[in-house]
Amino acid sequence: MVEWYGLPWSQHFWHWPTLFHFAFVALAGGAAFVTMIATLRDHPRKRTYALITIGLIVLDLATLWAESPARWRFTHVWLFLAFTPTSPIWVGAWGLITSLVASFFVWIDRGPRMLWGALLVVGSSLALMYPGMALAVNTNRPIWSMMLIALFPLTGMVTVIAIAMLFKQAWANPFIVPLSLASAILGVVYLWGLATGIPEAQQGFAYLWSHGGPLFLVGLALLVAPAFLRRTPLLAALVPFVGATVVRSLIVEIGQHQFFGF
């Protein structure tokens, strides 16, 4: 039996707005990725995609602001005055701001297009990768394994391709099945890695399973579903979007637990 006088900070440190942030940053990074391709290929809709990217980044930053306990302290300027490349959040902040600036110039159609495209290559890559990195660096929390560095960008792309399909962008249709299937496979490998890993990873698996395992499996099943929904593009978009969001949210929410505290 364990009793306490005072308590360690074992409670969740990220709350529901953070789950929205993890959804919006996937969309923002993915939209920046699409804008990058459209810009480099001089696609006629590149300005539209750039405007959507700007909107999603602003929405994402607004969500972060809403979540922040330092909402009115304006210390966030230090994100851009400090040089801390070992911090995934710093990397993500620069990825988003780079994407925002480049998308703005693509939208107003000014300046060297290839430069904005190149900046979007960097910015969108960082924005897509940073959420998984921000979790995976915490080796003390076994549910946040290194697999997330691959799983989060992939599921992020699933969500943005799904949104593109919902807006009837025909070019997106061929991508949804391979991306969502790859995400589902990575999700299974991720679970397998936890279940057969070191003892703490196995504990992480047990904790994940007991706190949301069936829902996680539903999320993976929804990621597989587009392979069987080719004739109904609306469902083939909506279903994996929900699946990817469920999988990401469960990992973020449940993974905050570490077994040292309670």
Partner 1 sequence: MTRYAMAIDLAACVGCSACSVACTMENDVPVGNHRLWIRNTEIGTFPNLTVEFRPEQCLHCENPPCVPVCPTGCCFVTDEGIVDIDSKKCIACGACIAACPYDARSMHPDGYVTKCDFCKHRLEEGKLPACVETCPTLCRSFGDLDDPNSAVSVAIRTADRVDVLRPEQGTGPNLYYLNAPASFGLTTTVGQVGTEEGAH
Q: Which residues bind partner 1 (CB under 8 A)?
A: 1-10, 13-14, 68-73, 75-76, 78-79, 81-84, 86-90, 93, 134-135, 137-141, 199-200, 203, 206-207, 210-211, 256, 258-262
Shortest spacing between CB 10 and partner 1, in angstroms: 5
Return the number of the residue (73 or 231) whose C-beta is nearest partner 1.
73
Return the number of the residue (4 or 112) whose C-beta is nearest partner 1.
4
Q: Nearest to residue 99, comparing CAs of 64, 131, 52, 162?
A: 52
The amino acid that residue 248 corresponds to is R
Shortest spacing between CB 171 and partner 1, in angstroms: 35
Residue 225 to residues 30, 153, 191, 248, Cα–Cα distance (Å): 21, 19, 19, 17
Return the number of the residue (20 or 116) whose C-beta is nearest partner 1.
20
Shortest spacing between CB 45 and partner 1, in angstroms: 34
Q: Which residues fall within 8 angstroms of residue 225, CB to CB, at 6 or more apart?
A: 180, 235, 236, 239, 240, 243
Return the number of the residue (171 or 259) whose C-beta is nearest partner 1.
259
Shortest spacing between CB 43 and partner 1, in angstroms: 34
Alpha carbon distance 214, 247 (integer Å):
11
Alpha carbon distance 119, 204 (integer Å):
38
